[in-house]
Structure 1
Amino acid sequence: MELRDIEIFLTLAEELHFGRTAERLRVSQARVSQSIKAQERRIGGALFERTSRSVRLTPLGERLRDRLAAGYGEIMAGVDEAEAAARGQVGTLTVGTFDTYHHGLAPTVDLFRQRHPQCELRLREILPADPFGALRAGRVDIGLLWLPVQEPDLVVGPELFTERTVLAVATDHPLAARDRVEMEDLGDHAVVQVDGPIPDYVWEAHTPSVTPGGRPIRRGVAISTVEEALTAVGAGGVVSPIGSYTAAGRVRRDVTFVPITDAPTMRYALVWRGGAETSLVRAFVQAARDALS
């Protein structure tokens, strides 16, 4: 059965009218009739019941329609995707990341835009307290997020960059006069905690609950954004590990950033929904890999 004959059959199964089917497919009514008769001869049974007043599917026709519809949709989606790739990707791709981390996406964004000028690329902020919410809600197609990510519905792609961790403290805090601190020092001070649905294992990698020596690290005020964290730090009640790139973009009189000599390196990778990997997502991931090479 030719693809055109499948299209004719499925369209007639939807329209249940030879004239409307011919008009919709821009062929003659005779072409529709010939195609259906040929299919019925090949299959060996009637697919439609025809009267002078109506056309309806037979039970055999209904079964064939149900089997063919899904496969035809997949075939046409593949053709559409190939055509889009041939003429340059079109559509809209929304990319998200935390506050000041768009710099980590810059090489990928530049290369993607060069390759796919017809695609509209939108950048959105992802809240640290809810790193996966925007992805799962479909507000973001792909994100640049902290690692680790151990979510079964999310795919982790190429790692784009890393950064050192520094400690944000109030300018009059005892640690502010030090030229460096260690993770063990956090056992003597309260740190910010996060107010949101971020998994415990993600926040633990960012702000651990115990020092390397096993001492508990006290949790203080709860925050949802970087600005809330720095405001709480500036007030003097808490300290907070923070990425060095965020620190470099935040010049505040009430906060000082002190290097942490033994803090784990923070790593960032592209992440997207496993069930929503579009051709645009794949093109962005490929641009990321090429920008890294």
Structure 2
Amino acid sequence: METRELRYFVAVAEELHFGRAAQRLTIAQPPLSRAIQQLERRLGVVLLHRTTRAIALTDAGAVLLREARLALEAVEAAERRTRRAAADRPGVVLATKAGASRELLSKLLDAYAAEPFAIDVEVMLCGPGEPEGLLRNGHADVALLHRPYDTTSGLDTEDLHTEQQVAVLPAGHPLSTRSHLSMAEITDLPDLPLPRWPRRDGSYPDGPGPQVRDHTQLTQLIALGRACALMPESVRAQLRDEHAIVPVPDAPAVTTVIAWPPHSRSKAVADLVRSATRL
């Protein structure tokens, strides 16, 4: 299969409309239809159910959509990393969630900068869930991720720090004086719903909580009494008097890991990982 065919198929599978897919690809519709038919003949499977009114993916088409996205992402990542390796000033790009692991990140950058072999580190501060995607698509060489919220399957990782989670509530809330709360209590507060973070495709899950995109927005909503949140215990250092923190003993622990692609042969990435594991 050619990458061109995979791009064509992904466009049709996502739009479920040949006209819109052709417009998105800036090509005419007839060659797009022929390319998909040729792909089906080559694979010996039907990828799309076609009627005069609608298009739907077959089971085989759903599998190819998932695999094609991964394949195209890998090709684009290879292109980005290759260009970066040829840059006049070599550097390493580290992605991390804004507002998370501040102390650890600061110590890591200082420790690495003190090494005689250190090169420039570009830090990409992003929203929740974004560092993993930036690492997988080649925009970043290494990332700080947080299990269980980030998925590390298919990546090489080293665990750096594990901490318990706490409930962050508005100061003065009736529950703010409790010695601890349970997960069941946190997820069932009618006046303080949990926030809804965007998925990788930009959509939001259903629910009563407010839609949030970053840590600053969330902490302000909590202070206004519009939401509560479950966060790693290290968030204490970043909050103000308008917030209250209550331990949640049965919440899953959060482990900060440093992650990188398993096929990476970058000396800079290896050196950065060694600096992190020595902290």
Q: Where does residue 197 of structure 1 map in the other structure?
A: 200
Q: Which amino acid letter does the alignment assign opposite residue 200 of structure 2?
A: P
Q: Where does residue 96 of structure 1 map in the other structure?
A: 95
- Spell out the pairing of 1:137-286 with structure 2 (5 A cutoff): 137-148=137-148, 149-150=150-151, 154-189=154-189, 190-197=193-200, 219-253=208-242, 255-286=243-274
* TM-score, length basis structure 2: 0.58
**Structure 2 CA distance for aligned equivalents of residues 269 and 166 of structure 1:** 19
- Contact conserved, 2:145 with 2:257, CA < 8 A, in 1? yes
Q: Which amino acid letter does the alignment assign opposite residue 237 of structure 2?
A: A
* TM-score, length basis structure 1: 0.55
> Aligned pairs, how many?
188
Q: Where does residue 206 of structure 1 map in the other structure?
A: none
- Contact conserved, 2:187 with 2:194, CA < 8 A, in 1? no
Q: Where does residue 124 of structure 1 map in the other structure?
A: 124
**Structure 2 CA distance for aligned equivalents of residues 118 and 108 of structure 1:** 12
**Structure 2 CA distance for aligned equivalents of residues 237 and 198 of structure 1:** 25
Structure 1 unpaired stretches of 5+:
1-76, 81-89, 200-208, 210-217
- Contact conserved, 2:194 with 2:228, CA < 8 A, in 1? yes
Q: 1:118 to 1:194 in 2, by over 3 A?
A: closer
**Structure 2 CA distance for aligned equivalents of residues 123 and 288 of structure 1:** 15
Q: Which amino acid letter does the alignment assign opposite residue 275 of structure 2?
A: A
**Structure 1 CA distance for aligned equivalents of residues 234 and 91 of structure 2:** 28
Deviation (angstroms), 1:275:
4.5
SS in 2 for 1:194: coil
SS in 2 for 1:146: strand
Q: 1:107 to 1:238 in 2, by over 3 A?
A: closer
SS in 2 for 1:185: helix
**Structure 2 CA distance for aligned equivalents of residues 198 and 264 of structure 1:** 26
Q: Which amino acid letter does the alignment assign opposite residue 93 of structure 2?
A: T
**Structure 2 CA distance for aligned equivalents of residues 95 and 240 of structure 1:** 26
Q: Percent identity?
A: 19
- Contact conserved, 2:111 with 2:275, CA < 8 A, in 1? yes
Q: 1:150 to 1:98 in 2, by over 3 A?
A: closer
SS in 2 for 1:262: coil
Q: Which amino acid letter does the alignment assign opposite residue 193 of structure 1?
A: R
Q: List per-residue Cα deviations over 1:68-120 (Å, max 9, x = no partner).
A: xxxxxxxxx9xx9xxxxxxxxx7211222222323213443333222245511
Please tell me the root mean square deviation across aligned C-alpha atoms, in Å: 3.2
Q: Where does residue 42 of structure 2 map in the other structure?
A: none
Structure 2 unpaired stretches of 5+:
1-81
**Structure 2 CA distance for aligned equivalents of residues 198 and 250 of structure 1:** 30
Q: 1:172 to 1:192 in 2, by over 3 A?
A: same
Q: Which amino acid letter does the alignment assign opposite residue 170 of structure 1?
A: P
Q: Which amino acid letter does the alignment assign opposite residue 221 of structure 2?
A: A
**Structure 1 CA distance for aligned equivalents of residues 127 and 194 of structure 2:** 19
- Contact conserved, 1:130 with 1:198, CA < 8 A, in 2? no
Deviation (angstroms), 1:240:
0.8
Q: 1:266 to 1:138 in 2, by over 3 A?
A: same
Work out whether 1:109 is the aligned partner of 2:104: no
